[in-house]
Amino acid sequence: MNKLFDLSTRRQLLLVVASTGALLLLAFAFPNNYVATFAFQLLTWIILAMSWSLFSGNSGYASFGHGVFFGLGTYATAAVFRFTDLPFGVALVIAGLTGGVLALLVGLAVFSSARFAGDLFGLITLALAFIVITIVSNVPWLDGGSGVFVRELVGDAWIGRSATNLYIVGALLAGLTAIVAVLAWKTRWGAALQAIREDENVAESLGVATYRHKVLAFAASGTLAGLIGAPQAVFLGYIEVHSVFALNIPLFVLMMVILGGIGHWWGAVIGAIVVVVLREALLGLGSADIAQIVVGIALIAVIIAMPHGIAGYIEKLRARKRVQEVSP
């Protein structure tokens, strides 16, 4: 178990493929709809956390607009179902493209000037959320303020038949996201992003094409978030602006990644699992508010006690163990 995370990139990719296969096999073992639904939601959060971490965790540019790409994917899917008879696969691709193209355009504009780094980048992404909310709630063919009933539009298509089918789509997307995440951490692309996080000016002076790498990573992150927005539309059944673009979605994603640790691609996975399971366990305890308080306090405790998240903590433990082995 200890060696698991020390493997080379190729073996990590194999591990991802094998885990995705295992996740797919698990779909046959669900005892009831509740478990399948929970598993799908867990996968959605894992994908959101991984795709956020892919850009923001790697490059250190904290984005508060991740919910925008996710929400746009959801609305794009709803629009496809509403105006065409195309199958879910096409809607999925369009959802991904919508998120990706918006992220690409925003990235091209925002990263063109060094002024929009740090706090200002975070705020611009936050502003993006407010603008997209206003646009979506005012454009009649997207929403127009009354919401969209996706459940009626899906009808008896494969995707809408059971929660297990949603889970299968989620598992495939999780596999895809993990592959992109491994690449974004372990290849030259990842090295460039991490160099940007450490010191962007130095990275640029050493010949790292910072602009291209940032734009590419941001677009990839937006595409993945848009993709998982597609099954989410079917899952929700009825979509409405203020729940789809709720500002606590990017907050939760941020929390998961910080909790898990931004130093490793699998930190986001751990963080997402911990937060979702914790919240679900706490919901039995009482109201959603109490659950939110406990999760928030947990986040504060983690920031104070483990500044590098759970992944960083595991690394530290392993390093300590290694030292003990060397000097008995």
Partner 1 sequence: MSGDTLALLQTLLNGALLGCLFGLIALGLTMKWGHLGVPDFFHLSLTLFSGYLTYTLVTGLLMNPFLTLLITVPAMFVIGVLTQWLFFTIKASAFTSLLLTFALFIVAESVMSVIWSPDMLSMRSWLDSSFTTAIRIPVGDKSLSVLPVDVMALVLALVLVLATWWMLKHTRWGRALQAMRQDAQIAEVLGVRILPITLIVSGLAAATAAVAGMVVVVRMPLTPGLAMNWIGVVIVATLLGGLGRPLGALIAAIVLMMVQNAWSLWFPPQWSPAVAFGLLFIYLALTPIIRIVRERVELRRNREQAV
CA nearest to 213, candidates 184, 239, 236, 235: 184
User: Applying CB under 8 A, what is the total number of residues that bind partner 1?
Assistant: 39
Instruction: Give the N- to C-terminal CA distance of the chain in Å, as an integer.
Output: 22
Cβ atoms < 10 Å from Cβ of 236? 16
Stretch of residues binding partner 1 (CB under 8 A), selected from 14-22, 124-132, 149-157, 184-192: 124-132
Q: Which is nearer to partner 1, 167 or 218 (CB)?
A: 218
Q: Does 127 bind partner 1 (CB under 8 A)?
A: yes
Stretch of residues binding partner 1 (CB under 8 A), selected from 37-45, 137-145, 184-192, 273-281: 137-145
Stretch of residues binding partner 1 (CB under 8 A), selected from 93-101, 183-191, 221-229, 297-305: 297-305
Give residues 142-171 in contact with partner 1 (rule: CB under 8 A). Answer: 145
Give residues 23-82 in contact with partner 1 (rule: CB under 8 A). Answer: 60, 62
DSSP secondary structure of 213-271: HHHHHHHHHHHHHHHHHHHHHHHHSEE-HHHHT-THHHHHHHHHHHHH-SSSHHHHHHH
DSSP secondary structure of 119-151: HHHHHHHHHHHHHHHHHHHH-TTTTTTS-EEHH
Stretch of residues binding partner 1 (CB under 8 A), selected from 30-38, 47-55, 181-189, 296-304: 296-304
CA angle 284, 170, 159 (to 5 degrees): 100
Stretch of residues binding partner 1 (CB under 8 A), selected from 70-78, 174-182, 215-223, 295-303: 295-303
Q: Does 297 bind partner 1 (CB under 8 A)?
A: yes
CA distance 100 to 226: 7
**According to CB under 8 A, which one of 21, 87, 89, 118 is a site residue for partner 1?**
118
**According to CB under 8 A, which one of 299, 310, 311, 314 is a site residue for partner 1?**
299
Q: Which residues pair with residue 148 across a beta bridge?
A: 239
Q: Which is nearer to partner 1, 18 or 281 (CB)?
A: 281
Contact 53, 182 (CB under 8 A): no
Q: Is 211 exposed, middle or buried (0-12, 13-18, 19+ CB in 10 A)?
A: middle
Q: Does 304 bind partner 1 (CB under 8 A)?
A: yes
Binding residues (CB under 8 A) for partner 1: these are: 60, 62, 113, 115-116, 118-120, 122-124, 126-127, 130-131, 133-135, 137-138, 145, 247-248, 251, 254-255, 258, 287, 289-290, 292-293, 296-297, 299-300, 303-304, 307
